[in-house]
Structure 1
Amino acid sequence: MPEPVIALHAVKKSYQDVSVLDIARLELPAGVYWLQGENGAGKTTCMKVMAGLIPFKGEILLQGGVSSQANPVQFRRLINYAEAEPLYPAFLTGRDLLDLYLNTKGGDRERILGISERLGVNIFVNNPVSSYSSGMLKKLSLLLAFTGNPAVILLDEPLITIDTRTLAIMYDLIRSYSASGVTFFITSHQPLDPNELTVTGTLQVAHKNITLN
């Protein structure tokens, strides 16, 4: 069994004393995973917990030793998350957000600027995000998700609100980054195109737990 790129140990999450997640143990090697579940099953909560964006009980380890609890800054540099319906402060521009991510996450600036051009983000990046359509916001969130040197990228419903051209670019980016060792977790109510992407495994979110099918 390959070394796990991510390991969840005794991970629990509650909202106002209502238990949402209770994952005793889940260890996964590098790959591309499709995260499935009914509406309200906890897929988005799971992603936010994995990204270290909301508090939870337990521990998540990346690459065998970077702990969500003991090394939170390093942990968050290694994991990126793109929301299904991204929201950003209205007064910021896309460039403000991109510069923030590049300064905090590091990585290859020229590569990201190249991806920005491929996605067409460079056309509107200097405008305040309050002027963005849902499709523009989605492109920006996808661009930010590939910024830095992530070990894991979490994409929540990446297939919605993007055109077919952007979809093809996104699949190409996932293939490219996956080939270099980056692990992906993707939620999608729409099937992932098997001609575009080889899925390592399907994860089912149900009954507060995650199981590998």
Structure 2
Amino acid sequence: MSLNVELKSVARHYGRVKAVDGVSFAAGPGEVIALVGHNGAGKTTLIKLMLGLARPTAGSVSVLGQDPAAGDAAVRRRLGYLPENVSFNPALTGRETLRFYVRLKGGSKGEENALLERLGLAHAADRRVGTYSKGMRQRLGLAQAMIGTPAVLLLDEPTTGLDPALRQQFYEIVREMGAAGATVLLCSHALNELEGNAGRVVIMNEGRKIADGSLDELRHMARLPTKIRIRTAEGGARRLREWMGEPAGLRQVNGHIIELDATPEDKAAFLRRAAGEGAPFEDLDMVPPGLDELYAHFLAGKASR
């Protein structure tokens, strides 16, 4: 498979500070990847390296087959970037702002109008950016990043300031771009948002990559328990507890909901027994460990893949 992004043993040091330390990373067309980590973990430095805004102290960076720091204009036109803190000239209108970036990036004539419509800003296109709310400026920033249908899209805290409906719209756009073949890298602290919207997760800590894989792969690596949440009929919790034999870790949530932590093997055994014996409950949910739990696990163990 061809690669849109490839980092090999990349390091970036600022004096004694190792902002990035020996990171290898590759991403192909169509991948939507979440890059997570605490402030100072090295996420933004990695983005700067991929954009060519910083040169590696050691190792190599390749984006669309080229060194991004070499200044190849053709490669730069195929990159889209949304910084964490968007800043535009407040005296320009939204349309004027996007038109400037379309010309700067060599986009198609009139592309700004289609982008303003797609990002829900057509009604405010001729208002000065200084009158925009934070969420509107964020959408304008995303529109700027999408000019020219980029092959690689780098988004740093992209949903800051967006309400739930607009966040949903944003991730629909991300999925569309991934389906069209773009490599999308999302940096965010909103871990719960990323679970259903990124096919792969890269966890950073202190400049190093400590985990990399799909959610299912990270769950397999972490071996964290799955929560089995069981709902009984009113007054049936005691009977259910007796049937289960009071296993370790059993929790009574309320009068008719019980929770149990189970390993993958215990989960399968429980389901087989429940199906074979007609367990005394009305409903059951399996709640696998979420990205926030996986992140905390790998951060604590500083595991590396």
| TM-score normalized with structure 2 length | 0.61
Q: Deviations over 1:29-74 (max 9, x none)?
A: 23000111012212222223222234544542123x2221334323
Q: CA RMSD in A?
A: 2.4
Amino acid in the other structure paired with 1:147: I
Answer yes or no: is the 8 Å Cα contact 2:34–2:200 preserved in 1.
yes
Q: How does 1:64-79 map to 2 (within 5 A)?
A: 65-79=65-79
The SS at the match of 1:69 is helix
2:168 maps to 1:152: no
2:205 equivalent in structure 1:
206
1:102 equivalent in structure 2:
102
2:12 equivalent in structure 1:
13
My pick for the range that moved more, 126-135 or 52-61, is 52-61
My pick for the range that moved more, 119-128 or 38-47, is 119-128
The SS at the match of 1:88 is coil
Cα drift, residue 122 of structure 1:
2.3
Q: 1:200 to 1:129 in 2, by over 3 A?
A: same
C-alpha distance in 2, partners of 1:141/1:42? Answer: 22
C-alpha distance in 1, partners of 2:2/2:189? Answer: 29
Q: Give the total of aligned pairs.
A: 209
1:38 equivalent in structure 2:
38
2:165 maps to 1:165: yes
Answer yes or no: is the 8 Å Cα contact 2:34–2:194 preserved in 1.
no
The SS at the match of 1:95 is helix
2:21 equivalent in structure 1:
22
Q: 1:22 to 1:121 in 2, by over 3 A?
A: same
1:120 equivalent in structure 2:
120
| TM-score normalized with structure 1 length | 0.84
Q: How does 1:50-89 map to 2 (within 5 A)?
A: 50-57=50-57, 58-63=59-64, 65-89=65-89
The SS at the match of 2:22 is strand
Q: 1:70 to 1:159 in 2, by over 3 A?
A: closer
Amino acid in the other structure paired with 2:28: P
The SS at the match of 1:166 is helix
Answer yes or no: is the 8 Å Cα contact 2:157–2:188 preserved in 1.
yes
Answer yes or no: is the 8 Å Cα contact 1:77–1:104 preserved in 2.
no
Cα drift, residue 93 of structure 1:
3.2
Amino acid in the other structure paired with 1:145: A
Uncovered stretches (5+) of structure 2, i.e. residues with no partner: 214-305
Q: Deviations over 1:114-146 (max 9, x none)?
A: 331232222223333332221111110111111
Fraction of identical pairs, as percent: 30
Greater Rg by CA: 2
Q: 1:72 to 1:10 in 2, by over 3 A?
A: farther
My pick for the range that moved more, 151-160 or 5-14, is 5-14
Q: 1:192 to 1:89 in 2, by over 3 A?
A: same
My pick for the range that moved more, 66-75 or 76-85, is 66-75
C-alpha distance in 2, partners of 1:84/1:8? Answer: 22
